[in-house]
């Protein structure tokens, strides 16, 4: 496991910065990185968890985005259930041999896995399978919930941090990482960087805690509880309603 934020002692003295960005900008950067990676070759793209529903008001249409950027891109949608935008009904947690039998042996230049891992029964197996479907030098974009209300689709099992995703995807070099919110119409994101590269050292956690956690005193707690529609247990802190962690990794 390695990260683009690994630095020499001299570089580690560079200033740690929180950089404002947007999911739209990071999406465009991902597709530009893909274009550089494939050159003149037609990209082969897989979306894990591709099924769309009327509830997906704030979910990007990756098939459309990739199609607009690459005229002849080969886009494949995989999901556990059949539906709109699904080409293959397969379990990303199943045997890799079964996935390759269903999808074909040709490896993928980009794998998209957004808002899926928290619902899988075995995210470790899912991560290994995704790595096994990628072309050497290929890219993966993972977006997973860190803070989000329970949403069983079909179940809700896990939450992840950036470094948690790094543990899952041990074969990847992390080339980009950012945080994003989930409110409809809100396109705000943040990157924690050092010397222009993602800061992946656990010591940066203090910065992340300051960004995304709000500690309330007793009176503020009481005011928050008073505004709830139903009775709630007293809390000592509150978090952003929805927060996603996002990584872009490259297979060595």
CB 246, CB 112: distance < 8 Å: no
CB proximity list for 220: less than 8 A, separation 6 or greater: none
**41 pLDDT higher than 60:** yes
The pTM assigned to this predicted structure is 0.84
**What is the Cα 121 distance to its own chain's centre?**
17
Q: What is the DSSP string of 75-86?
A: EEEEESS--TT-
Q: Give the confidence band of 1 by pLDDT, cuts at 50, 70, 90.
A: very low
Task: For residue 16, report the phi and psi dihedrals to the nearest 5 degrees.
Answer: -80, 130
Rounded Cα distance, 243 and 245, in Å: 7
Say what the pLDDT of residue 165 is.
95
Domains and CATH numbers, the chain: 9-197+241-251 (3.40.50.150)
Per-residue pLDDT at 149:
75
Instruction: State the alpha helices, DSSP H only, in the chain.
Output: 23-38, 62-69, 96-103, 123-133, 162-168, 205-212, 218-226
Supply the Cα-derived Rg of the chain in whole angstroms.
19
Which residue did the predictor score with more confidence, 248 or 150?
248
> Token pair of 197, please?
């590269």
- Both tokens assigned to 79: 């999901």
User: Under DSSP, is residue 236 helix (H, G, I), strand (E, B) or coil?
Assistant: coil
């Amino acid at each position: 496991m390695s990260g683009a934020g690994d630095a020499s002692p001299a570089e580690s003295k560079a200033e740690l910065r929180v950089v404002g960005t947007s999911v739209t900008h990071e999406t465009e950067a991902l597709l530009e990185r893909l274009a550089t990676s494939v050159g003149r070759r037609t990209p082969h793209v897989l979306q894990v968890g591709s099924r769309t529903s009327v509830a997906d008001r704030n979910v990007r249409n990756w098939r459309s985005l990739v199609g607009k950027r690459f005229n002849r891109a080969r886009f494949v949608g995989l999901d556990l259930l059949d539906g709109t935008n699904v080409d293959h009904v397969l379990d990303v947690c199943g045997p890799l041999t079964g996935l390759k039998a269903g999808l074909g042996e040709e490896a993928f230049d980009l794998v998209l896995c957004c808002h899926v891992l928290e619902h899988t029964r075995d995210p470790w197996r899912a991560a290994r399978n995704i790595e096994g479907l990628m072309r050497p030098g290929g890219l993966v974009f993972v977006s997973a919930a860190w803070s989000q209300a329970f949403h069983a689709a079909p179940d809700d099992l896990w939450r992840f941090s950036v470094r948690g995703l790094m543990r899952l995807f041990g074969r990847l070099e992390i080339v980009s990482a950012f945080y994003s919110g989930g409110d409809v119409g809100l396109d705000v994101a943040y990157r924690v960087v050092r010397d222009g590269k993602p800061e992946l050292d656990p010591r940066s956690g203090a910065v992340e805690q300051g960004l995304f956690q709000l500690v309330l005193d007793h009176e503020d707690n009481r005011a928050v509880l008073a505004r709830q529609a139903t009775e709630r247990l007293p809390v000592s802190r509150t978090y952003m309603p929805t927060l996603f962690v996002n990584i872009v990794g490259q297979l060595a």
